[in-house]
Structure 1
Amino acid sequence: MSRHRTSRYEMRRNARRMRRYGIQPVVTVNDLEVAPLVIVSIARLIWRYRSELAPLTVAGSVLLNGMVLRHWFPEWWPTVLISTIGMAIALVIGGRWVNLPRPIERGYAAFTTAFAGTWLTLAAYYGPFTTPLPAVLGIGSFVLAVPWWAHRRRRARVRVERTLAAWPDIAQAVGLAGSRIQSAMVDLWGYRVRLKLGRGQTVEDAIKQMPALESALGTRRGAIRIQPVPELANRADMRVVEKDPHADAIPWPGPSITSVTQPVKLGLFEDGSPVRVLFLRRHGLFGGIAGAGKSGGVNVLLGDLTACPDAIIWGIDLKRGMELMPWASCLDRLATTPQAADALLADAVAILDGRVDHLTQQGLRVWEPSPDAPALIILIDEYAELIEEAPGAERYTDSIARRGRAPAVTLVAATQRPSQRAMGKGAVRSQMDIRLSFRIREQRDVDLILGQGMLKAGWHAHRLDAPGKFLISAPEHDVPRRARTYLLDDEGVQRTAERHAPNRPPLDAISAAALEAQEALKTSQSAVRPSPRHARSNFPQDADVALITALDTAPDAGASVGDLITATGMSRPTLYRRLGHLEREGRVRQISRGFWRSRRDSDPE
């Protein structure tokens, strides 16, 4: 110890002398102990570029394992060969479960495993330095390293790891000091990380800092998504979308359901998973500004619902049928005027009451949809127009919203801005359990469409940047995830409607009886009232004569129900009742859905 003290004393004394006489000291390796610093620097470089050096590391590991096998376990070569074949087959079949989603990636992993395992087998049998095994290992490692070095996801992961290595400084800059990254995963469109928040921090705090995070990470605007982890309050999933997966429209693949009891597939989330939601016994609301894609979402919904033989669809479109008229052949009723809309909703309430009475008599609690007892779905386009032009309809929609769950009578409304004035004073908006928000202009409209407090919780519908993109809030979708609905263009709507129209179900007997009872009640009420001046007392007889005449003069393709209503002045339920009576008598024939004419001698029996 005294020797070390003397040495340090001499070093300080020599340094003072050099400074006194202006002599620069000579730096020696022992003075600064450069060797450990060089070793540490090299180790840091190896760790930093460990991904690029991975092929060399694997090649060295294979060579070392070959030496060990040849020296101590040469008789294991059959075991090595069998294990290699099993691992290669497992990677080809189940590679997607180890983050190898693409077939070419699974093929590369399987081929690399087969090469390494075959070389180890030969090394164990012949020796690792037997010609030409060393050359084969070197050349093969270089050839297999080229795809590894060029792989996009590997390079992206390296870039992400180096970016996130600076997370402590980033977190300090954006106000999330104390948070740290637990894991990271690169996908096709960007990367996602699991954040462990600092003590006292919440997911809402991280959501507020999203613009600052976008700046600190150097991403594009709107590229970051933050979602809570339901199991732990101090965890959050942060996703960085470097390439927008919804930049282009997604063609509609066709109906995804065959029964209204199944969840409808409305579109795709950004990770490619389907947006599935069940509409049975749930009312729905589609909101967003004009041109945001509400009509497209409604078309996708109708494309699925019209394929269900256990659902009847009624429509209300006060834009004179501009949106729903292409689906007219699949809609049992379509109201395009305020008066017709009021009558349609009144009949819907009558059906609701009839079904409730039936369930009560049978001791049942819910109406189970089937082709003989279909669910009733009422789709209303531009709900605000309905409330303004047909104020009397509000009491009907309120009744359906409150009581429609058990008897399977469902409302689906689309509107631009579902304010209290637009939705009426009833309980319609509060009963909407499924809410889709397409793009909106003002932040406050987020809470109008999705519910109070949703904007603060991270449901940023005002950041949606393309038609068809939406956020969905439903019992099975309680975190904000961006999605895009499918594109079903006008030609697709026409083809789909023509394909589904012949398979639409008729109204069930219980609902039809409820409509007949309501029609009889209206008739009896009108009979006790004083008749207006010049009223015709023989109107029913004249209507029947007009009906027979219209059916007799109808073309071979038949007369439409709309034409028959115009010719006779009958209401739709009365017309259907009279047509059914005449059909049972064998006097008329239904040519196709909604088209009738008188039976003729040339018709088949």
Structure 2
Amino acid sequence: MTRTRGLRRHARRMRRAGLQPMIVINSDDQLPDVIAVVLGRALWRYRSELAPFTLALILLITAVTLHVTHPGWWVAILIGTALSAWLLALAGHRVGLTLRAERLYAATVAFAAGGWLAAATALGVLYRPLPQLLFFATFVLGIPWWLHRRRRARVRVERQLAAWPDISQAIGLTGSRVQSAIVDLWGWRARVALARGQTIQDVTAKIPALESALGTYRGAVRVYPTTDDRANRCELRVLDIDPHADAIPWPGPSVTTITEPLDLGPFEDAAPAHVLILRRHLLIGGATGSGKSGGINVLIGNLSACRDVVIWAVDLKRGMELRPWASCIDRLATTPEQARALLRDAVAILEARADHLAATGRRVWEPSPKMPALIIIIDEYAELSDEAPEATGYTDSIARRGRAVAVQLIAATQRPTQKAMGKGAVRSQMDVRIAFRVRERRDVDLILGQGMLNAGWQAHSLDAPGKFLLSAPEHDVPRRARAFLLTDDMVRETANRHALSRPQLDEISRRAVEEAATLAATAHATENPREPEPATAQPEPKETPEATLWAMLKAAPPEGIPVPHLMNATGKSRRWVYYQLNGHATAGRAVQISRGRWRASDHTDHSP
């Protein structure tokens, strides 16, 4: 026995030195010890595969002992067996049996083992056909155990982690050790205790070496800080298969109100990427083709199902990206002039709501179907800064003052540099940030914030469109996710389904927009007086509602004039106004700029 312990100590020293231990037999007296060591090592290595035989041996020894000493205990054993099987079937998830099949298998094994033990205790292990039943049940019930994917994965992980001292020394993390490991659906994760002076940054830098040492595919290893934020601890995540290898179809809206966190897509552990955007501004960044448009579609698809949100949007690519959602977007700006007017009206709404809250003694605007939040989505924010630089003053005001009154920004851009985002405080006010794949490492800090790259937020390593990193107050650990995929047919179907249930702006906001439009129209008429009509033109009636409507359409600013303003000026109903507007549009004299806003067509020279 002393020689056996010595051999084991020698083998451990050899492994620490990075050498493969080799057993040398110097005499015949050492042969039994060597055989015992080799056999014990093999039994321990294959303990999982031998578990059914081990259980059968334990049952056999226990039955022999109980039959000799307490044969009358078979009744208690049978009762305990029934109770244990019942508890495993109903509450097995509390001991790690998450799947129903696993719980049923455990209950079956417990019932079979306990039933055989009770019979053998009462009758003896040699009573026919108890020996045959034990042998047959061991093999039959062992087959699911041997074939179980998670068990085989756990065994493989245990064997990998048994070699961790050699791996850590080979990659330059000598002294680190694995504290615990868990096998999940996609792979496994382990909590690693680092040696003195080592940090998570050291482990992150060794990821390629870790992938090589563990024998995984490229990009399979993740390193996260632990939940307790200890500097000498980290979590190692290893994927056997990539759960994000294929696009994930959108299952439909995950919310019905903006007060609930919406689901952007699954993380790598299948947990949903939930994020709350109420009273938060959101920044989306990523290279061309990285999936930004898909992420925006997921956002709009969820927001379209919310009855307490009004959506405005700016798409200076002439609506190429966002026009499919036009039926759910209350106002869509596709030109710099329209974008400028939209953001100006948003600031007017912001100020009107702030005045209302101050007058009523409240501090925040609580969204509801009658008092909805206002979400402004700006696709390619850099285009707005280039083509309408004065509009960035409005976005700066919204970013700084919009949270409390539920007027929020969602901005998407490729590289959110200070130049692209304007000279204001827009980027610094973004609470939620989504980083799709970027081309350069430095772009990670541009999107997510200074120092995030060194903290493990490696958006430059995302390897497929739609994969992203989510940074938010509730998501402070770099976890990869993949945005749901919305096809064109899904966008069209979702937009048509929710178009009729979209809310309107509240009375306070509508009044603010009308006043802002009136002021803008007055300023436009003062700065750009219209040329008198040619003498050959037909004189327009001055006192009829039709003439008043036409005059207002002709004098409307580029962003158009709201229908409620036309109703007030003509004294007619909404139905009458829309009837007249449709007639002008059919004749080519008028055009709808956005939802509820009209003006005279630029290419018409004739009056109605």
> Relative to 1, partners in 2 of residues 1:83 and 1:195: Cα closer, same or farther, differing over 3 Å?
same
Q: Is the 1:70–1:123 Cα contact (8 Å) retained in structure 2?
A: yes
Which of 432, 439, 442 aligns to 2:440? It is 442
Please give the alpha-carbon distance, in whole angstroms, between the structure 2 residues aligned to 1:423 and 1:194: 40
> Relative to 1, partners in 2 of residues 1:571 and 1:462: Cα closer, same or farther, differing over 3 Å?
closer
Q: Is the 2:520–2:557 Cα contact (8 Å) retained in structure 1?
A: no
Give the Å deviation of 1:361. Answer: 1.1
Please give the alpha-carbon distance, in whole angstroms, between the structure 2 residues aligned to 1:535 and 1:78: 109
Matched, 1:145 2:142: yes
RMSD (Å), alpha carbons: 2.9
> Relative to 1, partners in 2 of residues 1:329 and 1:567: Cα closer, same or farther, differing over 3 Å?
farther
Which of 294, 307, 310 aligns to 1:309? It is 307
Which of 554, 564, 568 aligns to 1:576? It is 564
- Equivalent in the alignment of 1:235: 233
Please give the alpha-carbon distance, in whole angstroms, between the structure 1 residues aligned to 2:224 and 2:259: 29
The residue correspondences of 1:461-476 to structure 2 (distance < 5 A) are 461-476=459-474
Q: What amino acid does structure 2 have at the position aligned with 1:577? A: H
- Equivalent in the alignment of 1:71: 68
Give the Å deviation of 1:569. Answer: 7.2
Please give the alpha-carbon distance, in whole angstroms, between the structure 2 residues aligned to 1:324 and 1:226: 37
Unaligned runs of 5+ in 2: 1-24, 580-593, 598-608
> Relative to 1, partners in 2 of residues 1:254 and 1:539: Cα closer, same or farther, differing over 3 Å?
farther
- Equivalent in the alignment of 1:278: 276
- Cα deviation digits, residues 111-160 of structure 1 (max 9, x gap): 21221122122223323321111110111101112222222222222222
The residue correspondences of 1:365-404 to structure 2 (distance < 5 A) are 365-404=363-402
Please give the alpha-carbon distance, in whole angstroms, between the structure 1 residues aligned to 2:58 and 2:547: 94
Give the Å deviation of 1:568. Answer: 7.7
Please give the alpha-carbon distance, in whole angstroms, between the structure 2 residues aligned to 1:379 and 1:335: 10
> Relative to 1, partners in 2 of residues 1:152 and 1:274: Cα closer, same or farther, differing over 3 Å?
same
1:68 partner SS = helix
- Equivalent in the alignment of 1:209: 206
The residue correspondences of 1:6-45 to structure 2 (distance < 5 A) are 28-30=27-29, 33-45=30-42
Give the Å deviation of 1:575. Answer: 1.8
- Equivalent in the alignment of 1:255: 253
- Cα deviation digits, residues 541-599 of structure 1 (max 9, x gap): 6995268799xxxxxxxxxxxxx9799879655323334888985854989x9699xxx
Q: Is the 1:582–1:588 Cα contact (8 Å) retained in structure 2?
A: no
Q: What amino acid does structure 2 have at the position aligned with 1:500? A: H
Give the Å deviation of 1:409. Answer: 0.5
Q: Is the 2:337–2:558 Cα contact (8 Å) retained in structure 1?
A: no
Q: What amino acid does structure 1 have at the position aligned with 2:562? A: T
Please give the alpha-carbon distance, in whole angstroms, between the structure 1 residues aligned to 2:264 and 2:578: 35
- Equivalent in the alignment of 2:188: 191
- Equivalent in the alignment of 1:545: 546
Q: Is the 2:549–2:566 Cα contact (8 Å) retained in structure 1?
A: no
> Relative to 1, partners in 2 of residues 1:338 and 1:547: Cα closer, same or farther, differing over 3 Å?
same
The residue correspondences of 1:72-111 to structure 2 (distance < 5 A) are 72-111=69-108
> Relative to 1, partners in 2 of residues 1:409 and 1:542: Cα closer, same or farther, differing over 3 Å?
farther
Please give the alpha-carbon distance, in whole angstroms, between the structure 1 residues aligned to 2:572 and 2:87: 66
Give the Å deviation of 1:165. Answer: 1.2
- Equivalent in the alignment of 1:338: 336
1:334 partner SS = strand
Please give the alpha-carbon distance, in whole angstroms, between the structure 1 residues aligned to 2:92 and 2:570: 66
Please give the alpha-carbon distance, in whole angstroms, between the structure 2 residues aligned to 1:274 and 1:355: 34
Please give the alpha-carbon distance, in whole angstroms, between the structure 2 residues aligned to 1:87 and 1:196: 37
Q: What amino acid does structure 1 have at the position aligned with 2:463? A: D
Please give the alpha-carbon distance, in whole angstroms, between the structure 1 residues aligned to 2:578 and 2:85: 63
1:442 partner SS = coil
Which stretch shows the higher mean deviation, 442-451 or 327-336?
A: 442-451
> Relative to 1, partners in 2 of residues 1:60 and 1:565: Cα closer, same or farther, differing over 3 Å?
farther
Q: Which has the larger radius of gyration?
A: 1
- Equivalent in the alignment of 2:322: 324
Please give the alpha-carbon distance, in whole angstroms, between the structure 2 residues aligned to 1:491 and 1:121: 63
Q: What amino acid does structure 1 have at the position aligned with 2:81? A: T
Give the Å deviation of 1:98. Answer: 3.0
Q: Is the 2:521–2:555 Cα contact (8 Å) retained in structure 1?
A: no
Q: Is the 2:201–2:454 Cα contact (8 Å) retained in structure 1?
A: yes
Q: Is the 1:544–1:568 Cα contact (8 Å) retained in structure 2?
A: no
Please give the alpha-carbon distance, in whole angstroms, between the structure 2 residues aligned to 1:197 and 1:63: 45
- Cα deviation digits, residues 460-498 of structure 1 (max 9, x gap): 111111111111111011011010011111100000001
The residue correspondences of 1:444-459 to structure 2 (distance < 5 A) are 444-459=442-457
> Relative to 1, partners in 2 of residues 1:502 and 1:55: Cα closer, same or farther, differing over 3 Å?
same
Please give the alpha-carbon distance, in whole angstroms, between the structure 1 residues aligned to 2:521 and 2:556: 16
> Relative to 1, partners in 2 of residues 1:357 and 1:541: Cα closer, same or farther, differing over 3 Å?
farther
Q: What amino acid does structure 1 have at the position aligned with 2:282? A: G
> Relative to 1, partners in 2 of residues 1:335 and 1:565: Cα closer, same or farther, differing over 3 Å?
farther
Please give the alpha-carbon distance, in whole angstroms, between the structure 2 residues aligned to 1:174 and 1:36: 35
Which of 222, 225, 231 aligns to 2:222? It is 225
Please give the alpha-carbon distance, in whole angstroms, between the structure 2 residues aligned to 1:425 and 1:186: 49
> Relative to 1, partners in 2 of residues 1:402 and 1:493: Cα closer, same or farther, differing over 3 Å?
same
1:251 partner SS = coil
> Relative to 1, partners in 2 of residues 1:68 and 1:539: Cα closer, same or farther, differing over 3 Å?
farther
> Relative to 1, partners in 2 of residues 1:390 and 1:523: Cα closer, same or farther, differing over 3 Å?
closer
Give the Å deviation of 1:238. Answer: 0.2
> Relative to 1, partners in 2 of residues 1:581 and 1:310: Cα closer, same or farther, differing over 3 Å?
farther
Q: What amino acid does structure 2 have at the position aligned with 1:574? A: P
Matched, 1:167 2:155: no
> Relative to 1, partners in 2 of residues 1:382 and 1:370: Cα closer, same or farther, differing over 3 Å?
same
Which stretch shows the higher mean deviation, 337-346 or 417-426?
A: 417-426
Please give the alpha-carbon distance, in whole angstroms, between the structure 1 residues aligned to 2:568 and 2:68: 93
Please give the alpha-carbon distance, in whole angstroms, between the structure 2 residues aligned to 1:137 and 1:565: 93
Which stretch shows the higher mean deviation, 357-366 or 268-277?
A: 357-366
2:44 partner SS = helix
- Normalised to the residue count of structure 2, the TM-score between the two structures is 0.85
Q: Is the 1:565–1:575 Cα contact (8 Å) retained in structure 2?
A: no
> Relative to 1, partners in 2 of residues 1:153 and 1:422: Cα closer, same or farther, differing over 3 Å?
same
Q: Is the 1:543–1:568 Cα contact (8 Å) retained in structure 2?
A: no
Which of 118, 122, 136 aligns to 1:121? It is 118
Which stretch shows the higher mean deviation, 148-157 or 366-375?
A: 148-157
Please give the alpha-carbon distance, in whole angstroms, between the structure 1 residues aligned to 2:331 and 2:553: 13
Q: What amino acid does structure 1 have at the position aligned with 2:367? A: P
Which of 502, 505, 510 aligns to 1:504? It is 502
> Relative to 1, partners in 2 of residues 1:125 and 1:338: Cα closer, same or farther, differing over 3 Å?
same
Q: Is the 1:249–1:486 Cα contact (8 Å) retained in structure 2?
A: yes
The residue correspondences of 1:508-547 to structure 2 (distance < 5 A) are 508-523=506-521, 525=523, 531-534=529-532, 544-545=545-546
> Relative to 1, partners in 2 of residues 1:543 and 1:266: Cα closer, same or farther, differing over 3 Å?
farther
Which stretch shows the higher mean deviation, 163-172 or 351-360?
A: 163-172
- Cα deviation digits, residues 472-531 of structure 1 (max 9, x gap): 111011011010011111100000001111111111011112122223433555676684
> Relative to 1, partners in 2 of residues 1:565 and 1:164: Cα closer, same or farther, differing over 3 Å?
farther
Give the Å deviation of 1:94. Answer: 3.2
Q: What amino acid does structure 1 have at the position aligned with 2:287? A: I
Q: Is the 1:565–1:571 Cα contact (8 Å) retained in structure 2?
A: no
Please give the alpha-carbon distance, in whole angstroms, between the structure 1 residues aligned to 2:276 and 2:540: 46
Q: What amino acid does structure 2 have at the position aligned with 1:192? A: R
> Relative to 1, partners in 2 of residues 1:477 and 1:243: Cα closer, same or farther, differing over 3 Å?
same
Please give the alpha-carbon distance, in whole angstroms, between the structure 2 residues aligned to 1:473 and 1:245: 21
Q: What amino acid does structure 2 have at the position aligned with 1:236? A: C
Please give the alpha-carbon distance, in whole angstroms, between the structure 2 residues aligned to 1:348 and 1:338: 15
Report how many aligned residue pairs link the two structures. Answer: 555
